[in-house]
Every structure is written in C-alpha cells, then in structure tokens.
Amino acid sequence: MAFLPLAGLNGGVDIMRYAVIVALTMGIGATAATAPPPWMDQLVRELEWMEGALLEASYFCALAVMAPTVVDQHILAQRVVNILEGSGGAHFDPRLTGEEELPGVLPRLQALALALAEEDIPLPEREVLRFTFANVNAFLALAQELTLRGASARHLVRGAISLRQAYACLLAALGPGDEDQAYLGGIRPLLARYRPLMEPPAEAP
C-alpha cells in the first residue's frame, strides 16, 4: 500500500517492535481533552463503513460455505467479491447488485491510506496505522483470492474449503472486539481506539 508501507521490516525483531508500539499506544489519547484533528474524523467514518461492509461480506461468505448447490455457492461467493472489489473491480458482477456504483472495501482502504499519507499525523499514531493497515490489506487480499477460488470451484466441498479460509481472513481483517487480543490490529481495534475520541466530553456535574 502507498500509505506507510512496511518496507524495511527485519524479520521477527521488527515485527515484534511494531507489535509493541501498537500495544503501548493503543490506549493513548482516550482521555485527551483537546479537539480531535480533522484526519481522525475521516478515519472513523471510513472505518465504520468498512466494518459494516466486512460484516456483510462475512455473512455472505458463511452462507456460501453452507450453500446447498454449486450454483448457490458461486452466487454467494460473488457477492463477497463485489463487496471487496467494488464496481471498479476486475471481477465485479453488476447482476448481483442494484447499485450502479458500489464502493469496494479494498479500494476504499487504499484511498483512505493515500489521504492519511498527506496528513500531519503524530509518529505513534502513524506507526499504529502503518501496522494495522498493512495487516488488514493482507487479510483482505487473501480473502479476495480465496473467494474467487470458491466462486469458480466445480465441486461444492472444494469451494467450501476455500470459502472457510476466506471467512477466517475476513474476520481477521475485522479484528477482535477485545483490544487485549488485537495482536495484528484490525478495523474494530482501530474503531475502539479512535471513535471514543470523537465523542464530546461529558459535562462536569
């Protein structure tokens, strides 16, 4: 990704360094009294949209795993592909959506990364976003590849195997609800970190 690439990682040492940065900074700023910067508002709005889109994608992916026929499996898997790629994607099928323009999670994530690259973001926050975006992008790319494999499988069982793996990747991109288990970040841990900062402070009694 263009924003905060993980180029230069030196094996496990650097990976652990980024993990420690995330762990140490995940709760910083939650009680800050200052107004949040404009980039944070855009970040939260985009993350909320991505969370909803990935929940929808995981729902269709689960249905595809349980599909009774190969045809049903292909249709449901294609709906996941549409959500991930959007209407500009190479594998988008407009027959399965009523919207002429459907934003995809992958292009929206990349557009968000490009927009944030132009912002003056403090280094600790930048490291958190670098680490998390790289992992989310990797999980979504794997989910896309596996879903396409499931959407073209000739046998129901083989398709279900690929789609189970895709489902796991979608959940990994969403991330856990418990911040203590967010070892590789995710959409939900970022929301848990930044969304409270967008709420107005409670008035003193």
d(Cα 146, Cα 144) in Å, to the nearest integer? 6
- Distances from the Cα of 68 to the Cαs of 45, 159, 192, in angstroms? 37, 12, 37
Per-residue model confidence as pLDDT tens digits over 41-93: 999 999 999 999 999 999 999 999 999 999 999 999 999 999 999 888 788 88
Residues in the chain: 205
Show the tokens assigned to 84: 């991930």
At 99, is the pLDDT very low, low, confident or very high (cuts 50, 70, 90)?
A: low
Name the pTM for this structure: 0.82
pLDDT value at residue 9: 38
In this predicted structure, the answer to whether residue 22 has a pLDDT above a threshold of 90 is no
Show the tokens assigned to 21: 């940065």
In this predicted structure, the answer to whether residue 159 has a pLDDT above a threshold of 50 is yes
Q: In CATH, what class is 11-198? A: mainly alpha
Instruction: Specify the higher pLDDT residue, 71 or 15.
Output: 71
Name the one residue in this structure whose structure tokens are 């996941």.
80
Check: CB of residue 117 under 8 Å from CB of residue 44. no
Question: Which residues lie closer than 8 Å to 195 by C-beta, 6 or more apart?
Answer: 44, 47, 48
Q: Where are the alpha helices (DSSP H) in the chain?
A: 11-25, 38-65, 70-85, 105-117, 123-151, 156-174, 187-198
d(Cα 111, Cα 1) in Å, to the nearest integer? 10
- b/e sequence 70-90, b meaning 16+ C-beta within 10 Å: eeebbbbbbbbbbbbbbbebe
Check: CB of residue 93 under 8 Å from CB of residue 78. yes
The residues spanned by each domain of the chain are 11-198
